[in-house]
Amino acid sequence: MIHAHHLKKSFGSVTAVHDVSFDAPDGRITGLLGPNGAGKSTTMRMLHGLLKPDTGGVTIDGLDVVSDTLAARRTIGVLPDALGLYPRLTAIENIRYYATLHGLSSTETTRRVAELLDRLDMHGIAERRTAGFSQGERMKVALARALVHAPQNILLDEPTNGLDVMSTRAVRAMVRSLRDEGRCVVFSSHIMQEVAALCDHIVVVARGRVVAQGTAEALVERAGASNLEDAFVTLVGLDSTEGALG
Amino acid sequence: MNRSIWAHLVRTVARKELLDGFRDRRALMSALLFPLMSPILVALMFTAIARDQATPPTLEIPVAGEEHAPGLVQFLETAGAEVVHAPEDPSAAVGLGAVPLVVAIDAAYSDRFREGRPAKVQMWVDSSRNANRAAVRRVTRLLEAYSSQVALQRIVLRGVDPQLLQPIDLTELDAAGPQQRAANLLEMLVMMAVMAAFLGSMYLAMDSTAGERERRSLEPLLSLPVPRSALVVGKFLAAVTYGALGVMLATITMVVAMNYTPLELLGVRVVLTTPAALGLLGVLLPLVPVAAALQLLVASGATSFKEAQTWLSMTLFLPMMPGMIMTVRPVNPQDWMAAVPGLAQQVLSGKVLRGEGLSGLDIGLVCGASAGITIAALVALTALYDKERVLKQG
């Protein structure tokens, strides 16, 4: 489980995150929803200690991410928005590299890789070098890489970005099954339908602040809107001068 | 963190980078092609110089109007040159490079010669052709020699002491004998081995740092429970392996190539026995970690792969500078030079190649300086990877 409290982060004179707090318990998919530039990726990076918050803090399963970074990181699997794979390594080699760096033994790695190849239906691409993989294939490798050590906590930064329908469904199915295994999943996206379809709990982030959180129904009700899209627009406070892409 | 876990992480990173580099044709080419090719090229140069030294080619002099100057022709032939008929159009033939030069003797030559007046001889040359310079110089010397010989005879006939015509007696002494030239070439060989050390690790250093960031695989890597020091040292070891391979290959090729070069024709005493080759390797290898660590540091500081490439190609000249300077202007080895990477290799390799042994001070300085610089660079590199800005792309 992840507990983030009063996160703040500035880069030079620009404050990307002003004040973000939320809890992501086990067995639940927590969605970070917000327009581009709202501070989702910065928040995600603070969650696993890649960026150090200026104020506030994060604990993962009770471990402080800033002071106990390595121990905290062993309990999380991260899928950053950058899917960088090693193009000269095969899909399996990419996954095994991360498994070894996570400290898995060779037999353990082999067992986990076989399991993930099954679950993500990757047998066709397993032995191929990843140069020239489609976005969907890359996503599967990156996901398998992030999950290879069977982490209790999983951070997914815009995992369905640029995926076709089939790949999107595969990712969603995977995320649901992780939740059903009792893991803590934090999922960030700027696409409402995505978040609405998948997340049990939605944290709406805008301009570096949490502006609302709750279930999809609760958010609609709170915003006095008839659907989530209207609720989102109302909550985020977008108007015609600030497009959703802004 | 437990020491053996740290070592395991370092090995994992190094092994992955080695595999990645091995599959990268550009990394492999820059690491292996240069050390393989360059000593062979230098050996070919050696051989060419040795051949030149041993048998100067017979000089062929195309002469137009040779019937007007039988005395001159006879002089040239006595001097070992071969006088041949010049082509019809000397200007065109020389201009097109068909012949290196043409000596044209004036029709009035014999009359004027007999009357003791300056007889005209023209020489067509093409000053834009470097290859002909030696031939032109030799012919000029021969003609001048003939001219002064005739002048002397005329003066002696008139009862004048010929020494009056020679107010100074100039003797040119060339300090650069064939031995010196060969020694210069040996410095060049060492310079190439030094470059092999830098080229060996360069591409891998670049790809595993600036390349990793550009491929966007750095962020997920930094999200792992791996100390940054383990990442840095793993990448360093992979780069060092490539650099060491390059140096070893260069040394082996060098020794083999030298054994096929007629060094004795140059009067050079170069000892390239197995112990000398090992000594050479021992002098060159301490440069490898310095090169790898500095390259990693420079490439990590660059904002893009392209920028890293630019910086590293520029730093390639640094280790070559001492060698280049010494090729042009040899300096006497001093003890402190062993403490300057690059210069140390040049100075100490010279000692090894001349068959002088290395002193304990030499070995201590070259290894100590290398270790010091390497560790400093790795500490700086780890600090850089601990900063958030390491993720920033330009």
Beta strand A2-11 with A55-60: parallel, antiparallel or unpaired? antiparallel
What per-residue confidence (pLDDT) applies to A239? 44
Q: In chain A, which residues have their Cβ closer than 8 Å to the Cβ of B19?
A: 89, 93
Contact A86 B217 (CB under 8 A): yes
Q: In chain A, which residues have their Cβ closer than 8 Å to the Cβ of B225?
A: 69-71, 73-74, 101-103
What per-residue confidence (pLDDT) applies to A153? 97
- For B357, which DSSP code? P
Whether residue A100 sits in one domain with residue A59: no
Name the residue among A71, A78, A83 with its Cβ closest to that of B223. A78
- For A90, which DSSP code? B
Domain B57-165: homologous superfamily in CATH? abc type-2 transporter like domain (3.40.1710.10)
- Domain extent, residue A25, equals 1-75+153-246
Does residue A208 belong to any structural domain of this protein?
Answer: yes
Asked if B250 contacts B196 with a C-beta cutoff of 8 angstroms, the reply is: yes
Radius of gyration of chain A (CA): 18
Residue A6 has which token pair? 């009063």
Distance CA A207, CA B308 (A): 35
Distances (CA, A) of B180 to B43, B188, B324: 16, 13, 15
Residue A168 has which token pair? 């999107």
The b-or-e profile of A177-208 (16+ CB within 10 A means b, else e) is ebbeeebbbbbbbbebebbbebbebbbbbbbb
What per-residue confidence (pLDDT) applies to A113? 96
Query: Nearest to residue B186, comparing CAs of B352, B316, B321?
Result: B352
Burial class (CB in 10 A: 0-12, 13-18, 19+), A226: exposed
Provide the shortest C-alpha distance from residue B373 to chain A (in Å).
Answer: 28
Whether residue A165 sits in one domain with residue A133: no
Q: How many domains does chain A have?
A: 2
* CA dihedral angle for residue B11, residue B15, residue B16, residue B18, rounded to 10 degrees: 140
Asked if B200 contacts B243 with a C-beta cutoff of 8 angstroms, the reply is: yes
Whether residue A51 sits in one domain with residue A162: yes
Contact B223 A50 (CB under 8 A): yes
Q: Is B4 on the interface with A (CB under 8 A)?
A: no
What per-residue confidence (pLDDT) applies to A241? 41
Total Cβ atoms within 10 A of residue B108:
13
Low-confidence ranges of chain A (pLDDT < 70): 238-246
Q: Which CATH number is A17's domain given?
A: 3.40.50.300
Where a domain ends, among A121, A150, A179? A150
Whether residue A187 sits in one domain with residue A240: yes
Provide the shortest C-alpha distance from residue A83 to chain B (in Å).
Answer: 7
The b-or-e profile of B14-49 (16+ CB within 10 A means b, else e) is bebbbbbbeebeebbebbbebbeebbeebbeebbeb
What per-residue confidence (pLDDT) applies to A245? 41
Distance CA B238, CA A161 (A): 35
Whether residue A168 sits in one domain with residue A66: yes
Q: Is B2 on the interface with A (CB under 8 A)?
A: no
Distances (CA, A) of B330 to B193, B194, B325: 19, 18, 7
Does residue A165 belong to any structural domain of this protein?
Answer: yes
Contact A84 B16 (CB under 8 A): no
Distance CA A91, CA A132 (A): 12
Where a domain ends, among A93, A115, A150? A150
Does residue A80 belong to any structural domain of this protein?
Answer: no
Distance CA B232, CA B382 (A): 6
> Which residues, in sequence order, are CB contacts of A143 under 8 Å at separation 6+?
A79, A120, A159, A171, A174
Whether residue A176 sits in one domain with residue A67: yes
3 state SS of B42: helix
Distance CA B196, CA B178 (A): 27
| CA closest to B22 among chain A residues | A88
> Which residues, in sequence order, are CB contacts of B311 under 8 Å at separation 6+?
B298, B299, B302
What per-residue confidence (pLDDT) applies to B184? 66
- For B394, which DSSP code? -
Contact A78 B220 (CB under 8 A): yes
Residue B106 has which token pair? 């004036």
pLDDT in tens, A206-236: 999 999 999 988 888 888 878 777 888 888 8
Backbone angles phi, psi at A168, to 5 degrees: -60, -45
Distance CA B77, CA B165 (A): 27
Whether residue A163 sits in one domain with residue A96: no
What per-residue confidence (pLDDT) applies to A110? 96
The single-letter code of the amino acid at A239 is: D
* CA dihedral angle for residue B114, residue B118, residue B120, residue B121, rounded to 10 degrees: 100
Distances (CA, A) of A216 to A32, A159, A224, A227, B343: 12, 20, 12, 9, 70
* CA dihedral angle for residue A6, residue B388, residue B392, residue B226, rounded to 10 degrees: -110
Which of the residues A97, A102, A139 would you substitute to probe the B interface, choosing the one with the greatest number of B C-beta atoms within 10 Å? A97
Query: Nearest to residue A29, comparing CAs of A155, A208, A212?
Result: A155
Total Cβ atoms within 10 A of residue A71:
14
Tell me how many residue pairs between chain A and chain B have CB atoms under 8 A apart.
Answer: 73
Distance CA B203, CA B24 (A): 9
Q: Is A131 on the interface with B (CB under 8 A)?
A: no
Where a domain ends, among A150, A166, A195? A150
Backbone angles phi, psi at B341, to 5 degrees: -55, 140
Whether residue A161 sits in one domain with residue A70: yes
Whether residue A125 sits in one domain with residue A51: no
Whether residue A69 sits in one domain with residue A53: yes
Whether residue A226 sits in one domain with residue A104: no
Q: Is B357 on the interface with A (CB under 8 A)?
A: no
- For A103, which DSSP code? T
Taking chain B, what is the end-to-end CA distance rounded to the nearest angstrom?
Answer: 33
Contact B12 A101 (CB under 8 A): yes
Distance CA B229, CA A92 (A): 26
Asked if A130 contacts A96 with a C-beta cutoff of 8 angstroms, the reply is: no
Distance CA B164, CA B215 (A): 82
pLDDT, one tens digit for every residue, chain B (394 residues):
788 999 999 999 999 999 999 998 887 887 888 888 887 887 787 777 777 665 566 788 899 888 888 888 888 888 888 888 888 888 888 888 888 889 999 888 988 888 888 888 999 888 887 777 778 888 888 888 898 888 888 888 888 887 877 778 777 665 555 556 666 667 777 888 888 888 889 999 999 999 999 999 999 999 999 999 999 999 999 999 999 999 999 888 888 887 777 766 666 655 567 777 888 888 999 999 999 999 999 999 888 889 999 998 888 887 777 767 766 776 777 888 888 888 888 888 878 877 777 888 888 999 999 999 999 999 999 999 998 878 776 5
Contact B1 A101 (CB under 8 A): no
Contact B225 A73 (CB under 8 A): yes
Q: In chain B, which residues have their Cβ closer than 8 Å to the Cβ of A70?
A: 1, 225-227
Q: In chain B, which residues have their Cβ closer than 8 Å to the Cβ of A106?
A: none
Whether residue A69 sits in one domain with residue A163: yes
In the numeric block, the tokens 């750095």 are attached to B218
Which of the residues A101, A139, A147 would you substitute to probe the B interface, choosing the one with the greatest number of B C-beta atoms within 10 Å? A101
Q: Is B360 on the interface with A (CB under 8 A)?
A: no
Distances (CA, A) of B109 to A49, A210, B140: 96, 107, 18
Domain range list for chain B: 3-52+177-391, 57-165
Does residue A221 belong to any structural domain of this protein?
Answer: yes
